[in-house]
Amino acid sequence: MPSFHARTVFRTSLVTLIGGSLLLGGLMLTGCKMGAGGDAEAKAKEGKKETEAMPVEVVPASRRPIAASYTGTAPLEARAESQVVSKTSGVALQVLAEVGQTVRAGQVLVRLDSDRSKLQAAQSEAQLRKLEANYRRSQQLFAQQLVSANDLDQLKYDLENARAINRLANLELSYANVVAPISGVIAERSIKTGNFVQINTPIFRIVDTSRVEATLNVPERELATLKAGLPVQLAVDALPGKSFQGRVDRVAPVVDSGSGTFRVICAFDGGGLLQPGMFGRIKIDYDQRADALVIPRSALLDDENDPAVFVVRGGKAARTSIKLGYFDGAWVEVRSGLQSSDRVVTAGKVALREGSAVQVIGDPKAKQAAAAKPASDKR
């Protein structure tokens, strides 16, 4: 029979055990309730986030003219350029042209000392006149059979030689006047009055600025599209905001085997703002479509293998694959996949997914719907 003390200890332990079990059960129940409530709240927040509309900017597809073009860069060059050299030696008595002056072909630029050349020309002229007189007398004597045919032929050859010497002397005399070989503008001058000029020494540089040209090295795949006569647009870095019109002047049909390119020469009217040496950005339009369906290039998704855009339909984003045509500046042609009434997303498309709810920024319908909501919904 257990003692009274033992029975008391047993009852106390039993009460403590039962109380601990009840407390543990209550804590577990409370934890379960809190866990269930937290999960429900997180799911509610997640559901709210999923239905939250994402702000985007849209642009409707529209119809406008668009051109297929090739673009490139090249420096402008003068149509013609010439170094003026002296064909004889002598002292420059007069220098008749300055840098920046416009000259015409054949205009005298420098006069050299020509005294020696004049004397040589006069000497050859005198010898020529003498031989001409002798030949005339010999012809009369030959008619009287007083001169042989051999002597007459010798005088004839001497006379022809004297004529050639005289022409050469006069040519040397003409070299005393240094003339412009082409029309244009004096770009450089390396001579002053009184300088001794050596033969074949450059003394001027003339640039023909009446027309400037730009040469493009174009990939061979464009050989069938770029032809002479096509319109060309030119913009130069030195003249921002200005555009110049020209044309394809000629095309070299030979493809360089090393670079795989061929040369396309574009011509523009000069004599004004355009100057040789300027850096030009060139656009050659080789095809036109007057009524093409176009969208901004910024609407395209970053997937070159599958061109696509996000279209807003029923307040949600729909990813739509499209077939592209010509690119023209900020616009791109859509050959299929869109209608004129479709609105494509241009800003905010990075975070979009198929079926994402969207709110068009600046859409008057969205503003009217927001204004019509009750105050309890807005909180």
305 and 251, same structural domain?
A: no
Same domain, 265 and 278: yes
Residue 49 placed within a domain:
no
Q: What share of the chain is helix, strand, coil (3-state, %, to 5)?
A: 30, 40, 30
- 188 and 255 housed in the same domain: no
Give the helix/strand (H/E) hosting 273: none
Determine which of 224-228, 268-272, 342-346 has the lowest per-residue pLDDT on average: 268-272
Contact criterion met (CB below 8 Å) for 55 and 348: yes
- What integer pLDDT is reported at residue 16 of this predicted model? 45
Residue 202 phi/psi, 5° resolution?
Answer: -65, 130
Shared-domain flag, residues 110 and 146: yes
The whole-angstrom separation of Cα 340 and Cα 334 is 10
Q: Which residue has the higher pLDDT, 330 or 6?
A: 330
What is the CATH classification number for the domain harbouring 308? 2.40.420.20
- Across 75-89, 159-173, 285-299, least confident range: 285-299
Q: For residues 342 and 309, is the Cβ–Cβ distance under 8 A?
A: no
In this structure, what DSSP letter does residue 289 have? E
Q: Which pLDDT belongs to residue 12?
A: 45
What is the C-alpha separation between 334 and 346, in angstroms, rounded? 15
Domain, as residue range, for 190: 84-203
> Which of 27-41, 345-359, 361-375 has the highest average model confidence (pLDDT)?
345-359
Both 185 and 146 in a single domain? yes
- Ramachandran class of 279: left when φ > 0, alpha when ψ lies in -120 to 50, beta otherwise: beta
Q: 231 and 285: one domain? A: yes
- Residues 276 and 355 grouped into a single domain: no
Q: Is the pLDDT of residue 379 over 70?
A: no
Q: Where does 172-225 show beta strands of DSSP type E?
A: 177-179, 184-189, 196-197, 202-219
Is residue 158 within 8 A of residue 164, CB to CB? The reply is no
pTM of the predicted structure, to 2 decimals: 0.57
Q: Are residues 320 and 254 in the same domain?
A: no
CA distances from 32 to 37, 63, 141, 176 (A): 8, 62, 150, 115
Domain-terminating residue out of 256, 289, 322: 289
Each residue's pLDDT tens digit, 239-269: 888 899 999 999 988 898 889 999 999 999 8
Do 195 and 306 share a domain, yes or no?
no
Tens digits of residue pLDDT in 94-146: 999 999 899 999 999 999 998 888 898 898 999 999 888 888 888 888 888 88
Please tell me whether residues 183 and 219 are part of one structural domain: no
In a domain, 25, yes or no: no
Q: How far apart are the first and last CA of the chain?
A: 74
What's the alpha-carbon Rg for the chain, to the nearest Å? 47
Q: Is the pLDDT of residue 7 over 60?
A: no
Is pLDDT of 228 > 80?
yes
Closest CA to 107 of 119, 98, 120: 98
Where in 86-152 does DSSP place strands (E)? 90-95, 102-103, 108-112
What is residue 62's predicted lDDT score, i.e. its pLDDT?
Answer: 85
At residue 309's C-alpha, the angle toward residues 306 and 313, to 5°, is 135
Tell me, what CATH number does 222's domain have?
2.40.30.170
More confident call, 23 vs 60: 60
14-47 pLDDT tens trace: 334 344 443 344 434 444 444 444 455 545 444 4
Helices (H) and strands (E) in the chain, counts: 5, 19
